[in-house]
Structure 1
Amino acid sequence: MKAYRTYVILFLVMVVWGLNVTATKILVTNFLPVTITGIRVLTAGLTVFLLLSIIKKVRWLTKKEFWYVFLASIFNVVAHHYFLSIGLTETTATNGGLIMGMSPLLTTILAISFLGTPLTLLKSIGLLLGFSGVAFIVLEGNSQVAGISFGDGYILLSVLTQAVSFILIKRVAHTLDPRLMTGYMMVMGSLFLIVIGLIEEPQGFAGVVENSTVSLWLIYFASACIATAVGHMLYNEAIGKIGASEASIFINLNPFFALVGAYLFLDEQILFQHIFGFLLIITGVLLGSGAVEEIRNRRLRKKHAA
């Protein structure tokens, strides 16, 4: 029953994360992107600390933990959210959501390169399929984006920098609660984003005040508090209960709900290349991330042990 409950929670988190691509697209379209992103991530980080303080999980970082979390925040928050916010102003939420589905594959490549993770035949096939899916999406283009755009390139950079952060996070995850690490990264990184926003977008805060509406603020708080803060906490908790490989399979639902959100709320067209690319990415992630191999090996071990 507990595993079933965890699966339901993961499914709901993927729904929220997929729709959050649409929410982010709306926010960066109506406000200056870097400024609103910095404020949104800061709100998410403070929400994480508030929730963790209630369950008494907040503590200071050790010196070693601080530097790993600091470096991870530069990649996971500053670079990732900066490129994402800029990218979504120049491409569709549909393209953005699908390209973000590549995160597990890029993480696998970095793990093979820097952590000594073995490259198997299935992983090689998965990597090829996943990148083929992204290439199919961004090179075909649609009515709004002719061929590969700078926006698509920025989204790819955002996914790559996030993948780098996952490698850094693995270095410290064994001593630090991932939920607390998430809170520290969000607060540290958001302060950098706000400073960058002040430099690049001097009228950013004035624009937030001038363009504010009730509906935009509802989207803002839903994105910051529910999708970013609570969503990441629930996902990290699920990893601890059912394992990273099984939890990562649910990430494949994220691009699907990003497609649904873009279609329902932004009137973006879902074309053949989006569906075909999505199927290639899903297959590629399942094979390339090692999830299928790990689950298969775990079942074989259980069978032999029984």
Structure 2
Amino acid sequence: MRQNYLYLLLIAMMAIWGFNVIAVKIVVSEFPPVTITAFRVFIAFLALAPFIFYKKLYRKLTRKEWYYVIGISTFGIFGFQYFMSVGLNYTTATNAGIILGASPIATAIAAAIFLKDKLNIQRGMGFVLGFIGVTVIILAGSNEGFSISMGDLYLCIAVIVQTISFVWIKKASETLNTTYMTGMTLLIGSFIILIIGLITEPNGISQIPGGSGVAWGLLIFSGFVATGLGYLIVNSAIQQIGAGNSAIFLNLSPFFSVISAYFVLHEIIYISHWAGFGLIVIGVLLGAGIGQVKPNKDSTVGTTIKA
């Protein structure tokens, strides 16, 4: 997959993920959050299952590959989805956006430490500008202030476990097909979430039929497109351009959340939103190294992680 084409796919997916924040917020408000998250992740697996079986991607995993798959399922699927879904019920959109906006920086630091990914001045500036842009967008027009709550703590944990999973995804994708890996982790992760849901929400399954048609539609969209296709694209990006480079695009998601909120929830977009978006675009361009001159010998994007 060409690098520029992959960048466009990541941008498109960030637009979908931006809307998905609103979709998940509506879904978890009508269904038991943990139980419905298990169903949403399983729907994501069903979206990838036909490709896995049609292309015969399934095979026996090595012990090392199982280690990564279980780790990604536990941290990247169960951990991130659980703490994000539950956290959204106990914190404000302002706090959630700021905390989740720290994910690219956390991933860049982890990639530099564990994957020897170079964090040069240009990329560092890109992450900082992107984070400033996220903060400007989230705080624009908000009078809620910033306060620490249990929801904030859950979202902080979501950022940490997602960062760990990004590192493992990069390592696992060196030998494991990303579509098969994504499907396996979604399947295992959905069962882990379901088990936790049965414990924390004993009557959760019986409450699911009571959701509205809109909530069901958003659930299917979130499962098939945002979660299933989204994880596949992001995992493929991590394999080819590295965890740090992929994470910089996560800064675009809050802007698209604001745009979605304008059309879906009829919220006001302020000039500061556009200013924040400008900072994010500059940050993405710097962080992704677009326009940066690279040595001619660089012809193996995806084999090694480039700055």
TM-score between both structures, scaled by the size of structure 2? 0.80
1:200-230 CA-partner distances (Å, limit 9, x unpaired): 2222212212x22222211111110122112
Consecutive unaligned residues of structure 1, counting only runs of 5 or more, are: none
* Contact 1:97/1:259, CA 8 A, preserved across alignment: no
Shift of 1:133: 4.7
Aligned to 2:296: 301
Shift of 1:167: 0.7
Amino acid at match of 2:263: L
* Contact 1:90/1:149, CA 8 A, preserved across alignment: no
SS in 2 for 1:296: coil
Count of residue pairs brought into register by the alignment: 296
Q: Which deviates the most, 8-17 or 218-227?
A: 8-17
Match of 1:292 among 274, 289, 294: 289
SS in 1 for 2:231: helix
Aligned to 1:222: 221
Amino acid at match of 1:22: I
| Cα distance in structure 1, aligned partners of 2:62 and 2:169 | 15
Amino acid at match of 2:217: L
* Contact 1:84/1:158, CA 8 A, preserved across alignment: yes
Could you say if the C-alpha distance between residues 77 and 108 of structure 1 is closer, same or farther in structure 2, counting changes exceeding 3 Å?
Answer: same
Amino acid at match of 1:37: T
CA RMSD of aligned residues (A): 3.4
Shift of 1:89: 1.5
Aligned to 2:15: 15
* Contact 1:96/1:152, CA 8 A, preserved across alignment: yes
1:273-292 CA-partner distances (Å, limit 9, x unpaired): 655555445544544x4x22
Could you say if the C-alpha distance between residues 220 and 164 of structure 1 is closer, same or farther in structure 2, counting changes exceeding 3 Å?
Answer: same
Could you say if the C-alpha distance between residues 9 and 173 of structure 1 is closer, same or farther in structure 2, counting changes exceeding 3 Å?
Answer: closer
SS in 2 for 1:301: coil
Consecutive unaligned residues of structure 2, counting only runs of 5 or more, are: 299-307
Aligned to 1:63: 63
Could you say if the C-alpha distance between residues 17 and 136 of structure 1 is closer, same or farther in structure 2, counting changes exceeding 3 Å?
Answer: closer
Amino acid at match of 1:176: L
Could you say if the C-alpha distance between residues 218 and 92 of structure 1 is closer, same or farther in structure 2, counting changes exceeding 3 Å?
Answer: same
Aligned to 2:303: none
* Identity level (%): 39
Could you say if the C-alpha distance between residues 232 and 117 of structure 1 is closer, same or farther in structure 2, counting changes exceeding 3 Å?
Answer: closer
Could you say if the C-alpha distance between residues 227 and 193 of structure 1 is closer, same or farther in structure 2, counting changes exceeding 3 Å?
Answer: same
Could you say if the C-alpha distance between residues 11 and 166 of structure 1 is closer, same or farther in structure 2, counting changes exceeding 3 Å?
Answer: closer
Q: Which has the higher helix share?
A: 1
